[in-house]
Structure 1
Amino acid sequence: MAARANGHCTQETASTMKAQQIKQFEAEEYMSFATRKKSGEYVATPVWFAPLDGDYYIFSAGNAGKVKRLRNFTDASIASCTVTGRVTGEEFEADAYLLETREDEAQALKALQRKYGWKMKLTDLLSGITGKKNKRCYIRVSPR
């Protein structure tokens, strides 16, 4: 596991994903997704993620801190983790981008539904009832 400084992966400890690591990582249910603050510190959040064409897709409330931070910096780090955010695997550097088109968002949602099945459909249903689904942002995470 990579060393952490102040709760985030440092430039020196982050590594590039290798083929065998990718398969193991993609089988995990949660990903620790850390985004950079203006101060340079990283804030990590456990999220669901789905692989598609070498990238990973996640979703978040549109007003979440990670979305605000991504508007300033694309720098991120990712690692497998538990539902509580305890990192369980090696961390990797990544770039993360907010999706801007409905087509890209639909593709991300399909990937998430494919991976999480009924859990994602239930999340969508409940988010639709509460009105939160329309306020979602989808994010593409590209390992470096």
Structure 2
Amino acid sequence: MTTEETIEALRRGRYVSLTTFRRDGTGVATPVWYAVEDGKAYVWTRTDSWKVKRLRNDPRVELAVCDVRGNVAEGAARVPGTARLVTGEELRRVRALLSRKYTYQFWLVDRPAALFRRGKRPHTGIVVTF
């Protein structure tokens, strides 16, 4: 499968297994919501999550389409990439992309959580370049 075909498969997927790496090089996979646009993948996560902490030490990631539980189909393409953490205006763009892809599901998660936290959104965006 070519890189373009793999990115197209990512674009059509519902969840992606985002693998980040510990200091010792061990990969840790986590299923996440994501969007693909302009040859990049966009992920939204809590700022205090372990994946954010691991990305601060090592920007290498690997993506593979998965199911809601993080199970990657046998033979599924894995795409390596480099991630960077974003906040501010770039985070708003990530939220908009995910809102467009997941519509009401995204708002069912985001809105009540924001109300509970009195409007604060302790989130970070992850932009993955393939």
Output the TM-score relative to the length of structure 1. 0.82
Residue from 44, 50, 63 that aligns with 2:29: 44
Shift of 1:141: 1.1
Give the equivalent residue in structure 1 for 2:47: 62
Number of matched residues? 127
* Ranges in structure 2 where 5+ consecutive residues have no aligned partner: none
Give the equivalent residue in structure 1 for 2:59: 74
> What's the secondary structure of 2:20's corresponding residue?
strand
Identity %: 31
Shift of 1:17: 5.3
**C-alpha distance in 1, partners of 2:127/2:57?**
15
* Ranges in structure 1 where 5+ consecutive residues have no aligned partner: 1-15
Q: Does 1:138 align with 2:125?
A: yes
Residue from 73, 76, 80 that aligns with 1:93: 80
Give the equivalent residue in structure 2 for 1:19: 4
**C-alpha distance in 2, partners of 1:77/1:115?**
21
Cα 1:82–1:37 change in 2 (3 A) is: same
Conserved? CA contact 1:124–1:133, under 8 Å: no
**C-alpha distance in 1, partners of 2:113/2:21?**
27
> What's the secondary structure of 1:126's corresponding residue?
helix
Conserved? CA contact 2:9–2:65, under 8 Å: no
Output the TM-score relative to the length of structure 2. 0.90
**C-alpha distance in 2, partners of 1:97/1:73?**
10
Q: Which runs of 4+ in 1 moved over 4 A?
A: none
Residue from 110, 116, 122 that aligns with 2:102: 116
Residue from 91, 106, 123 that aligns with 2:92: 106
Conserved? CA contact 1:17–1:92, under 8 Å: no
Q: What is the RMSD computed on CA atoms of the aligned residues?
A: 1.6
Instruction: Name the amino acid aligned to 1:114.
Output: R
